Amino acid sequence: MFAQQVAAAQPLLIGLLLLWTSYGKLTRPEEAQKTALPKLVGEKRATPAYRTVGAIEAVLALALLSPPVWTAEVLAAIALGVGFTGYLVYAKIAVPEASCGCAGTAAKPVGARSIARALLLTATAAAALTASQGWWSAGPATLILIAEAAAFVVLSPELDRYWLLPLRRLRIRLSHPLAGTASNAVPLAATHRLLLLSPAHRAVTGFLRSDIRDYWDEADWRFVSYTARYDGRPATAVFAVPHDAATPEAVRVAVVDESSGQTLYRPALLSLAG
């Protein structure tokens, strides 16, 4: 008796699910271009095909939700579920970057969850095969649908932002996994930014030929070297950036001859003026 009621309740869930997925397809048929449909049926026919699937879903949903109870409706739902599963497996193999196009506008490519959801739809429809009465007379068995609906939600990437992201946000608010990364070490990116803003860099920028070649720390300074050319000679430009520098004016620079090691250029006045 109870099994009968469970079977009878299933069309309610399938109907609501199909209404949701058809809504996305009918209101945003342009999403078809992001799916594997252009490859399967051709670019021109993708949008009409997408809209047709949406219409079939809507009609079937309304048939399942309203009396009378026909086994043919359930068989059609099974066929649809099998069709979706096959299509998604094809899409994952043929056009791996294609979006599912199942419901809504999620740009996520077809994954195991989408395929599992199509399988679950098929199984739910199969469970309804033995129903002899409508979902409106299923009684307390309708409550089982809550668990089934939860399973559909978990398998829907389109709905992640409503429950999965908030859950992850909460977890990170309670204990951030990267809380231990704070340190007094100055990242090279911070040194680089200060250096680029400095009068010292402006003074020698015309001599620089490379990106950062080497960097090292000594005492309270970080040193950063670049390949340079000065007066036609190969040289190295070396910047000194104080670790606790508050302003870019504290940055110093020297251009050193590559072969003799002589300092060729040193805008010393800049650091004094700063």
Partner 1 sequence: MTSMDRRALLTRAALGATGLIAASAMGSLAPEAAFAASAQVPDPGAPDPNFAEGLITGRNQDLLQVQGSDGRLHKIQLTGVTSVWKLRPTTIDQARIGDGLYARGVKLPDGVLAAESVWINIVNLDVMINSIGRTGLNLDHHGQKVVGHVQEGITAAVYNGTPAISDLSMLKVGRHVQVIGAWRPGTNEIDLATIYAAN
Binding stretches for partner 1 (CB under 8 A): 97, 99, 107-109, 161, 165, 168-169, 172, 176-179, 181-183, 185, 187-190, 193-194, 209-216, 218, 221, 223, 225-227, 229, 234, 236, 238-240, 252-254, 256-263, 266, 268
CA angle 90, 34, 54 (to 5 degrees): 80
Tokens found for residue 6: 């469970």
Which pair of structure tokens corresponds to residue 246?
């508050």
CB of 191 to partner 1, least distance (A): 9
Smaller CB separation from partner 1, 43 or 220: 220
Q: Which two tokens stand for residue 147?
A: 């668990």
Q: Which amino acid does the sequence have at 29?
A: P
Compute the least distance from the CB of residue 81 to partner 1, in Å: 24
233-242/252-257 β-pairing: antiparallel
Shortest Cβ distance from residue 69 to partner 1 (Å)?
Answer: 40
Long-range contacts of 25-28 (CB under 8 A, 24+ apart): 25/50, 25/51, 25/53, 25/54, 25/57, 25/101, 25/103, 26/51, 26/54, 26/55, 26/58, 28/105
Q: Which of 148, 128, 8, 135 is nearest to 77 (CA)?
A: 128
C-beta closer to partner 1: residue 202 or 229:
229
Report the distance separating Cα 106 and Cα 209, nearest Å.
Answer: 45
CB of 184 to partner 1, least distance (A): 9
Q: Would you say 128 or 256 has its CB closer to partner 1? A: 256
Q: Which is nearer to partner 1, 3 or 176 (CB)?
A: 176
User: Minimal distance in Å, beta carbon 101 to partner 1?
Assistant: 12
CB of 19 to partner 1, least distance (A): 26
C-alpha pair distances (Å), 206 with each of 70, 124, 214, 220, 230: 82, 71, 19, 28, 9
Question: Residue 252: enclosing H or E segment and its boundaries?
Answer: strand 252-257
In terms of CB distance, is 45 or 266 closer to partner 1? 266
Nearer of residues 125 and 256 to partner 1, judged by Cβ: 256
Closest approach of partner 1 to the CB of residue 246, in Å:
10
For residues 68 and 177, which CB has a smaller minimum distance to partner 1 in the complex? 177
What's the CA gap between 21 and 15, in Å, rounded? 10
Tokens representing 210 are 């490379």
